[in-house]
Amino acid sequence: MEKITAAEKKVRDYYENIWSPPIQVEGRDENPLLGFHYGLYEKGIKNWKEAAINMNDFVGRLLKLDNTRNIEILDVGCGIGSTSVYLAMKYSNVKFTGITLAPSEIKFAKKIQKDNRVTNAEFIEGSYLKTFFPSEYFDGVFAIESFGYAQNKKGFIFEMKRILKPGKKLIILDGFRTDKSIPSFLQRVYSSFLSRRALPNLMSLNDFIQSLDKEGFKQIDIIDLTKANNLMYNFLQLDFFKILINFFLLQFKKAIKGNSYKSKEDIYFVLGALVPELILGMGKKIGYYGVTAVKK
């Protein structure tokens, strides 16, 4: 892998320290295809497992996948590869490539791929801000909750445009700041959220749309998934009350252990980000959106 930036190293270390091995959230060991992204709650979805699979299917619907075309799709910041493996099982004529900074995620993605006997997917360690893929190579690109980790958001858009074929679609499913400013009394909450998730920042939705337009994307559509995604449903299904208790216990742990406390290796420190995230979400300072755009 080529040399990565300090910001990318921080993200890589975050996933290596917390999510390695990447089965630390209850239930994923039963079905790794559920992944670690939020679920999509729609009519008829009864629980978080169905919601997680529904999010995978939602990506397939946005990409308009079928088995009539031999096409190449890139999964940007693929994590443990759950979405790509799931979709590869449904669409045998589609070739999926996943890219992530974390070696442990690549290792586990390949295990999931092997366990499910999937041959039309591959996983590569590397930076999605500077890929080695040829220009105009992919028939579609999607990023589930990985765009936010890009230090250079405009650089991300430029690279995605470079590797997409003309007329093909970019799909982003992620958290964005709303246009409403974050008041000073919530700045600490926002900073805590970013720190616990190792996020450099969140881009505002309007800035993202404007950047896509300036870079030459067209047919830009916004899907507000804050309610459909339903933050509270996701939090409750992840045993939110247990996380809430641990969020406050961590404050005592930090006070007692002092400098010896390694927050970056504590899974509940990271999951504690759900508390400030819920506050910011209910205050409509951040939201969860799907954004689709077509390269001219």
Task: Give the CATH number for residue 154.
Answer: 3.40.50.150
Instruction: Read off φ and ψ for residue 233, nearest 5 degrees.
Output: -60, -45
Give the pLDDT band (50/70/90) at residue 274. confident
β-pairing, 217-224 vs 164-177, is unpaired
Residue 270 maps to a domain: no
How many Cβ atoms sit within 10 Å of the Cβ of residue 73? 27
215 pLDDT more than 90: yes
Domain annotation covers residue 169: yes
Please indicate, yes or no, whether the overall pTM of this predicted structure exceeds 0.95.
no
Which amino acid is it at 15?
Y
171, 147 contact by CB (below 8 A): no
160 in any annotated domain: yes
- Asked if residue 248 is part of any domain, the answer here is no
pLDDT tens per residue, range 52-78: 999 999 999 999 999 999 999 999 999
The per-residue pLDDT for range 90-107, each reduced to its tens digit, is 999 999 999 999 998 999
In a domain, 271, yes or no: no
Asked if pLDDT for residue 141 goes beyond 90, the answer is yes
**Residue-range definition of the domain harbouring residue 100:** 6-179+200-238+286-295
The answer to the question of residue 265 being in a domain is no
89 against 250, higher pLDDT: 89
Reported as a single tens digit per residue, the pLDDT across 171-182 is 999 999 998 889
- Compute the mean pLDDT over every residue in the chain, rounded to the nearest whole number: 87
Q: What is the pLDDT of residue 26?
A: 47
In this predicted structure, which of 29-33, 80-84, 131-135, 244-248 has the lowest mean pLDDT? 244-248
Neighbours of 40 (CB within 10 A): 24
